[in-house]
Amino acid sequence: MPHPRRAAGRQESVGPTDNPDVSRKAPTRVLVVDDEPLFRELVTVTLSAAGSIQVVGAAERGQEAVDMAERTAPDVVVMDIELGSEPDGIRAAHQIKAANPAVGIVIVSVHRERQYLAALPSRRAAGWSFLLKRSIRDPQTLVRAIEGAARGLVTMDPAVLEDLRPRRRSALERLSGEQLAVLAMIAAGYADAAIARELCVDEASVRRAVESVYRDLGIEGDGAEADPRVRAALLYMQETSEKPRSGGAHRPR
């Protein structure tokens, strides 16, 4: 899958200016948490170069992150799993979410631990993203994961999604190849406009395809509280498995 383009950021009205009709992007406030100083610096520098992001703090340990999140009120926390002490990144993220459910969480790891997201109940999964640490080097992937988490979506690293295929006799077998491609892009955090650009079609066609995915997966209009885009992404993670390695070799993770 090609690298996604960054989705549009949140908008807010500005105060009195020469042109009162002008609006600008509200910067997404981000807290960076990692026990490696060089990685914290890499993320901070990468995000500082993105006009839509404001880094409000950096923490090294889980409890420090919980305390700093209370003080700085970030929109999104970029959280490493292994922090070298308790609580680890997952527990710290849950504590931050418990205190403020609106906070988005981007979990980063050197391992392909998508089960952390796939295991989340759909009603509690909004605003969680997962990225491999190596993907942090791509600013578009990082920013898109952050913006998706800020909007309450569930997104998975495209590099992880490329290695997945539907399980046998899973609900995904009801979908056509085109529908599966659209569903994978939803799981990677693509907005409809970005899907349209990648597939070289108009947005109306994408909207119809997305609606058909919801319908065929039975997640359309059933009164569930969770956003159907969140539920579709979770279902994709739950109903897929890794493709077999050629020759039985194991690729380093």
Q: Read off the pLDDT of residues 143-157 as tens digits, 9 standing for 90 and up.
A: 888 988 998 888 888
Q: Which of 236, 188, 199 is nearest to 214 (CA)?
A: 236
Distance, in Å, from the CA atom of 103 to the CA atom of 69, rounded to the nearest integer, reads 9
Tell me what pLDDT residue 163 has.
73
Of residues 242 and 199, more confidence is placed in 199
Choose the weakest-confidence range: 82-86, 180-184, 211-215: 82-86
Q: Looking up tokens 């700085």, which residue turns up?
A: 72
Mean of pLDDT over the chain: 79
Helices (H), the chain: 37-48, 62-72, 89-99, 115-118, 139-150, 158-161, 177-187, 192-199, 203-217, 228-238
pLDDT higher than 50, residue 233: yes
Mean pLDDT value across residues 164-193: 87
> What is the rounded distance in angstroms from the CA atom of residue 122 to the CA atom of residue 127?
11
- Please check the confidence at residue 81 and state whether its pLDDT lies above 50: yes
Determine the pLDDT at residue 201.
92
Q: Give pLDDT, residue 219.
A: 83
Tell me if residue 30 falls in helix, strand or coil. Answer: strand
Q: What percent of the chain shows pLDDT beyond 90?
A: 26
If you average pLDDT over residues 197-213, what whole number do you get?
92
pLDDT digits (tens, 9 = 90+) for 3-43: 343 333 333 322 333 343 334 568 899 999 998 898 888 88
* pLDDT for res 15: 32
Tens digits of residue pLDDT in 90-133:
889 989 999 999 999 998 887 766 566 655 655 666 788 888 88
Q: How confident is the model at residue 137 (pLDDT cuts 50, 70, 90)?
A: confident
pLDDT of residue 20: 38
Residue 223 has pLDDT above 60, yes or no: no
Provide the token pair at 225. 């509280």
The answer, yes or no, to whether residue 1 has pLDDT greater than 60, is no
Determine the pLDDT at residue 169.
84
Residue 165 pLDDT? 80
In the chain, where are the structural domains located? 11-248
DSSP state of 42: H
pLDDT the model gives residue 243:
67
Backbone angles phi, psi at 155, to 5 degrees: -135, 150
Instruction: Report phi then psi at 234, rounded to 5.
Output: -65, -40
Give the mean model confidence (pLDDT) for residues 52-76: 93
Residue 129 pairs in a beta bridge with: 106, 155
pLDDT (0 to 100) of residue 225: 59
Superfamily of domain 11-248: Response regulator (3.40.50.2300)
| 37, 49, 33, 70: CA torsion to nearest 10 | 130
Closest by alpha carbon to 37, among 62, 53, 58, 63? 58
